A and B are shown apart, each in its own frame.
Chain A
């Protein structure tokens, strides 16, 4: 497979792949390493790209690369069974409350606190605009699982954000 075709089909999704990796890892340096490894892998396995959905294909490789790194390091936290552990608003002083009104920072923190399985479906759906089918291809779970994870992710995020009404108000 000529690499010129790789340049045209896969590399245009580099920024999107980086954004996804950044939300998975929550660190610039880690995201960069993951995407670099993933692209080298993608090049090697380019002939396995059957349909023309290069973005989902690349994202799946990014996810696999990330996953094998964190499991090797033993750093992954499995999805907690207890869903009631809201990171409650534990900021009694006025200064911290003021900080919370900075919507972007607040929402980003709330998202980053979500278990990664929830965080990623929200990012793929809302930021990348992927369909359930595409998300299922990236995360490699059934579509029904995508649906329930999204619902739980939104439940959780809105519960966290309700402790910061300013953010919700501004979104409305």
Chain B
């Protein structure tokens, strides 16, 4: 190994893009050649400087814009699928009923709720109103929604309220309340419903747990990456209030 050879392989050596035996030969050479060691050190310093550069992050509005764009495309595709299904049903003479069990609607909503949760975290748009005071969060929704969501703090149960925001789920404006448990965020989406569901629905989608219940004609959807036990605890605490 002579210095000229090292010069040729300097970059692929530093980038670990060189065969193991060549790398070993270079290391061997470096043990004895001070000037090549210097050359390697200089080269490494250049790399370090580039790595010290600021990482430019996409602005929030770009995250939001693209998520919305993706959602719209999905809705359009769903509509198309339903239209195609309807045409099919009509064409076979209406023998097959389009009526599907109501669970399917909830399944879709659970998916939308998870989307909403992920979007709020990805876009860094968790709050419109940041407050641990339920008496500040509740009035904030006044005039922004055609209903008044129940807002309670659960700090006493270990789930402090941290804020609220306006969101869209399944094509309608909803209230989103944000609770915290250590580093985990819990989004609770609330909107009025005609359903009088008695039990609690549960889903696990893409690693997120979803719980759904109805109380006082308000549909509640809680979603989080929190483990199932603690999320159930949270839901129980919220339903007790």
| Chain A positions near chain B (C-beta within 8 angstroms) | 2-4, 6-8, 11, 14-15, 17-19, 22-23, 28, 31-32, 35-36, 39-40, 43, 103-104, 107-108, 111, 122-123, 125-127, 131-132, 147, 150-151, 154, 157-158, 161, 167-168, 171-172
Contact = CB atoms under 8 A, between A and B. Distances in A.
Contact of B45 (A23, A35, A172): A172
Interface string B27-59: 000000000000001110111111111111111
B17 A131 contact: yes
Interface string B205-241: 0100000000000000000000000000000000000
Contacts of B48: 171
Contacts of A19: 55-57
Given A43-B69, A161-B46, A168-B45, A4 B74 contact: yes
B59 A126 contact: no
B11 A154 contact: yes
A147 B17 contact: yes
A158 B11 CA distance: 13
B66 A11 contact: yes
Contacts of B115: 4, 7
B73 A32 contact: no
Q: Determine the main DSSP class of A at the interface with B.
A: helix
A150 B56 CA distance: 22
A5 B43 CA distance: 41
10 contacts: A11-B63, A11-B66, A18-B56, A103-B49, A107-B53, A111-B53, A122-B50, A123-B50, A158-B42, A172-B45
A2 B15 CA distance: 37
Nearest to A7: B70
Closest A-B pairs by Cβ, 4 of them: A18-B58, A171-B45, A22-B56, A126-B50
Contacts of B20: none
Interface string B63-107: 101110111011001000000000000000000000000000000
